[in-house]
Amino acid sequence: MTETSKTDNSRRKFITAGAAFAGLGLAPGVHLIQTAQADTSPSPKAVTSDKRWGMLIDANKCGDCTACITACNKEFGLEGGQSSEGNKARDTQKTQYIRKVELLNKQTGHKLSLPILCQHCESPPCVDVCPTGASMKRADGIAKVDMHLCIGCRYCMMACPYKARSFVHEKIVDQKPYAPRGMGTVESCNLCVHRVDEGRQPACVEACNKEGNKAMVFGDLKDENSAVSKQLKKHSSAQLRADLGLNTGIRYRGI
Amino acid sequence: MSKIQYSEIEGNSKGFYLVLLVLGGLVGLGALAAFYMEHNGHWVTGMDNQIAWGLPHVFAIFLIVAASGALNVASIGTVFNKYLYKPLGRLSGLLAIALLAGGLVILVLDLGRPDRLIVAMTQYNLTSIFAWNILLYNGFFALVAVYLWTMMDRSVGKYYKSAGIAAFVWRLILTTGTGSIFGFLVARPGYDAAILAPTFIILSFSIGLAIFLLVTLAFYQGTNRELGDAVLLRMKNLLGVFVAATLYFVAVFHVTNLYAAEHREVEKFILAGDSIHTKLFWIGFVIVGSLLPLLFLYSKAGKSRTMIILSSLLVIVGAFSLLYVVVIGGQAKPLEIVNPNEWKVVSSSFGDAVDYHRYNPTLAEFLLGVGGIAMALLIVVFGCKVLRFLPVSLADKVVDPHAASK
């Protein structure tokens, strides 16, 4: 009996010591979480659902111009802008927020060059499937990734109907302050949210209108006086994979 | 039931330490592979922006599906009152926990940011089937642990039945969740089917039982304990039923898809293409993994242990092939962003124009997967060494249901 209680005591001591160690281990983490959460107060210019940002792309005007892609790569320091360490990733592993897809109509022989980017869906599958909520949609319709919450599971890449997402396969250096890209996380076009919040146009749209064929119109879909709304009212337009019912923010003419 | 004696395995032979050494070595290699991938980034793997989930996911899903299936033996005893299976309940529970742990280790170590596991555990997006799965996995560990406790400690034995039923229901939901990871992907024609959930459940029955048979035979052979034909042949017949049922569900999935014009391209690619997926499907899954085991298990020679071992191994090969086709093959066809019947994609910088995306897994991905399997087996061996999971004898006279039910 005495022997048994001795054994029990030692086990109790062991467990107590273990708990103390675990506590010591956890304490700095709890402190870090507090620090990390300290700066999450809402911005004075909070984003609201009064706006919905969107874009109309006229595929007939686009041609073989790639000004939008160059501008996007430069804006975010993507692989085209040489911001990775050593540039080790294969071509199929490199990030592309916007790409050109050349199409040929099988029946009519009509050719199209379609810029494809994140379609900023009203009901984005990437947001639905993300386990941590890193894939998110702002109240103003911009779908983006919170790169601090992304665990790199790539489920959003499986879910996106447009293959708009890329996984960062290698170390990134010289990130832009407004785009904290990092190895092991997923990323995609965020409609240049840093520019939009300052009242500017996304880099691709700006480049398209300056150097390109003026095929892109960006603006607030909820404002009937915006250029994009006027164009959408005047011309018929289409969504990619409209059958999925995602109500995309990016619309196309000429497809 | 009270007549069944359990004991730890002795575990001091050379063979035992050799097993530990081999499994430990494989776990070590897996850990090194994971470190290599995480340190360099995923560019060192065969995965890319087209095939975002690669070989580690095939291993992980295989083990997770197997885990819920391995619990079946215990469930048959507890929930369906088959006394013959009751002595095996403990091993069944332990194997279930171990396989799930092995699968999850692979899944976590393949994340882009495994260091953010705490984020996955604290931030739940409840519309995500993945987030549900995290809850389901944790719940499975807890429920099976309690279930094992009710099996092994008489003082809580009265909760045995309730714990067993809870664990059984939970495992069905868990595998539904695993299948739905793919079933809910509406944008990909290779997935997007409700039948994937029940298919995964029936697949789990067959992989779980095949692994259970192999582990049981290995333990009883290795420790010179008696294993009678009564229990073994019952499980062998059941394995055949599960294999046939899996084949049926997979057939219905593909036939249904063939009927829909929008899925025909993908079906043509999987069933009649020239890629590895077609070979893995027909040779790996249908012939080697289903038809041959069925032939062996129900032939006259099927009662021999060699045939049971061979069939179980083939079932595992078949299931692995099927999961490879589901996970990798499902991503291999470029997404149909425009109607493929109307438009031909001529070129794209992001892989939209290829006939299918190639994937060449690297050694690191393979070693990570094998490391997960080794870890699962190591947990089982360690568990059997320290606690009483294994019946001292499973001789026919010991497990005879008529004697046991009295």
A84 has pLDDT over 70: no
Q: What single letter denotes the amino acid at residue B221?
A: Q
Residue A14 belongs to a domain: yes
Which residue bears the tokens 């049926």? Answer: B248
Contact residues for B365 (Cβ-Cβ < 8 A; gap 6+): B33, B37, B45, B46, B47, B54, B55, B56, B110
Mean pLDDT in residue range A175-183: 92
pLDDT digits (tens, 9 = 90+) for B320-339: 999 999 999 999 999 999 98
What DSSP letter does each residue of B68-92 carry, written as one string? HHHTHHHHHHHTS--GGGGGGHHHH
Residue A212 CB coordination number (10 Å): 22
Residue A45 belongs to a domain: no
Regarding whether A74 and A19 lie in a shared domain, the answer is no
Q: Which residue is closest to B347 within chain A, CA to CA?
A: A102
Q: Single out the residue of B99, B351, B369 nearest to residue B207, CA to CA.
A: B99
Are B117 and B134 spatial neighbours (Cβ–Cβ below 8 Å)?
no
B228 has pLDDT over 70: yes
Contact residues for A43 (Cβ-Cβ < 8 A; gap 6+): none
Q: CA distances (Å), B206 to each of A181, B105, B164, B179, B241, in order?
A: 43, 23, 20, 15, 8
Q: Is A58 helix (H, G, I), strand (E, B) or coil?
A: strand
Determine, for residues B113 and A184 on separate chains, whether the beta-carbon distance falls below 8 Å.
yes
ipTM of the complex: 0.92
Determine, for residues B344 and A103 on separate chains, whether the beta-carbon distance falls below 8 Å.
yes
pLDDT digits (tens, 9 = 90+) for B120-130: 999 999 999 99
B206 has pLDDT over 50: yes
CA distance B56 to chain A (A): 12
A254 touches chain B (CB under 8 A): no
Structure tokens that stand for B130 in this block: 């993945």
Chain-centroid distance of CA A150 in Å reads: 11
Interface of A with B in 13-32 (CB under 8 A): 29
Q: Is A216 helix (H, G, I), strand (E, B) or coil?
A: strand
A8 has pLDDT over 60: no
pLDDT digits (tens, 9 = 90+) for B289-299: 999 999 999 99
Q: Is A179 helix (H, G, I), strand (E, B) or coil?
A: strand
Residue A34's pLDDT band (boundaries 50, 70, 90)?
Answer: low
Determine, for residues B119 and A149 on separate chains, whether the beta-carbon distance falls below 8 Å.
yes
pLDDT score recorded for residue A87: 79
Q: What whole-number distance in Å separates Cα of residue B163 and Cα of residue B165?
A: 6
Interface of A with B in 192-221 (CB under 8 A): none
Determine, for residues A106 and B343 on separate chains, whether the beta-carbon distance falls below 8 Å.
yes
Are B390 and B219 spatial neighbours (Cβ–Cβ below 8 Å)?
yes
Regarding whether A179 and A113 lie in a shared domain, the answer is yes
Chain B partners within 8 Å of A104 (Cβ) = 343-344, 346
Regarding whether A117 and A236 lie in a shared domain, the answer is yes
Regarding whether A36 and A77 lie in a shared domain, the answer is no
| Highest mean pLDDT: which range of A20-24, A175-179, B93-97, B335-339 | B93-97
Residue A1's pLDDT band (boundaries 50, 70, 90)?
Answer: very low
Are B388 and B152 spatial neighbours (Cβ–Cβ below 8 Å)?
yes
Structure tokens that stand for B344 in this block: 């031909």
What DSSP letter does each residue of B32-49 carry, written as one string? HHHHHHHHH-GGGSS--S
Chain B partners within 8 Å of A123 (Cβ) = none
Chain B partners within 8 Å of A165 (Cβ) = 49
A242 has pLDDT over 60: yes
Nearest CB among B42, B53, B343 relative to A158 is that of B53
Residue A46 belongs to a domain: no
pLDDT score recorded for residue A79: 67
Regarding whether A116 and A23 lie in a shared domain, the answer is no
State the burial class of residue A141 (Cβ atoms within 10 Å of its Cβ: 0-12, 13-18, 19+): buried
Residue A16's pLDDT band (boundaries 50, 70, 90)?
Answer: confident
Helix or strand holding residue A230 (H, E):
helix A227-234
Chain-centroid distance of CA A170 in Å reads: 18
**What residue spans define the domains of chain B?**
7-334+352-405
Which residue bears the tokens 């060192």? Answer: B44
pLDDT score recorded for residue A23: 72
Residue B12's pLDDT band (boundaries 50, 70, 90)?
Answer: confident
Kindly state the percentage of chain A with pLDDT values over 90.
73
Are B214 and B309 spatial neighbours (Cβ–Cβ below 8 Å)?
yes
Mean pLDDT in residue range B35-48: 96
pLDDT score recorded for residue A46: 83
Regarding whether A177 and A136 lie in a shared domain, the answer is yes
pLDDT score recorded for residue A35: 56
Chain-centroid distance of CA A6 in Å reads: 60
Q: Which residue is closest to B38 within chain A, CA to CA?
A: A184
Give the total residue count for chain B: 406
Chain A partners within 8 Å of B338 (Cβ) = 103, 114, 240, 255
Contact residues for B114 (Cβ-Cβ < 8 A; gap 6+): A151, B34, B38, B108
Regarding whether A245 and A171 lie in a shared domain, the answer is yes
Structure tokens that stand for B351 in this block: 């892989």
Largest CA distance in chain B: 74
Q: What whole-number distance in Å separates Cα of residue B83 and Cα of residue A94?
A: 57
- The residue that leads in pLDDT, B339 or B202, is B202
Residue A34 CB coordination number (10 Å): 9
Residue A255's pLDDT band (boundaries 50, 70, 90)?
Answer: confident
Determine, for residues A158 and B185 on separate chains, whether the beta-carbon distance falls below 8 Å.
yes
Mean pLDDT in residue range A209-228: 96
Q: What whole-number distance in Å separates Cα of residue B77 and Cα of residue B167?
A: 13
Structure tokens that stand for B181 in this block: 């990871």
What is the average pLDDT score of chain B? 94
Determine, for residues A184 and B38 on separate chains, whether the beta-carbon distance falls below 8 Å.
yes
Q: Which of these ranges, A75-89, A171-185, B186-200, has the smallest mean pLDDT?
A: A75-89
Interface of A with B in 136-175 (CB under 8 A): 149-155, 157-163, 165-171
Residue A76 belongs to a domain: yes
pLDDT score recorded for residue A40: 56
Chain-centroid distance of CA A142 in Å reads: 9
Q: What whole-number distance in Å separates Cα of residue B335 and Cα of residue A4?
A: 66
Determine, for residues B338 and A151 on separate chains, whether the beta-carbon distance falls below 8 Å.
no
A178 touches chain B (CB under 8 A): no
Q: What whole-number distance in Å separates Cα of residue A180 and Cα of residue A74?
A: 15
Chain A partners within 8 Å of B347 (Cβ) = 101-102
Residue B389's pLDDT band (boundaries 50, 70, 90)?
Answer: very high
Residue B65's pLDDT band (boundaries 50, 70, 90)?
Answer: very high
B405 has pLDDT over 60: no
A86 has pLDDT over 80: no
Residue A152's pLDDT band (boundaries 50, 70, 90)?
Answer: very high
Determine, for residues A130 and B125 on separate chains, whether the beta-carbon distance falls below 8 Å.
yes
Q: Is A247 helix (H, G, I), strand (E, B) or coil?
A: coil
| A232: CATH | 3.30.70.20
A39 has pLDDT over 90: no
Q: How far apart are the first and last CA of chain A?
A: 85
pLDDT score recorded for residue A2: 45
Which residue bears the tokens 């320091």? Answer: A77
Determine, for residues B120 and A100 on separate chains, whether the beta-carbon distance falls below 8 Å.
no
Chain-centroid distance of CA B342 in Å reads: 40
Kindly state the percentage of chain B with pLDDT values over 90.
86
Q: Single out the residue of A123, A133, A119 nearest to residue A190, CA to CA.
A: A119
Residue A95 belongs to a domain: yes
Regarding whether A228 and A150 lie in a shared domain, the answer is yes
- Tell me B326's DSSP state: I
Predicted model pTM: 0.91
Identify the CATH number of the domain defined by range B7-334+352-405: 1.20.1630.10
Boundaries of domain holding A26: 1-40
Mutate to test the interface with B, among A117, A132, A241 (most CBs of B within 10 A): A132
Mean pLDDT in residue range B227-251: 95
Mutate to test the interface with B, among A155, A170, A186 (most CBs of B within 10 A): A155
Q: Is A160 helix (H, G, I), strand (E, B) or coil?
A: coil
The count of domains in chain A is 2
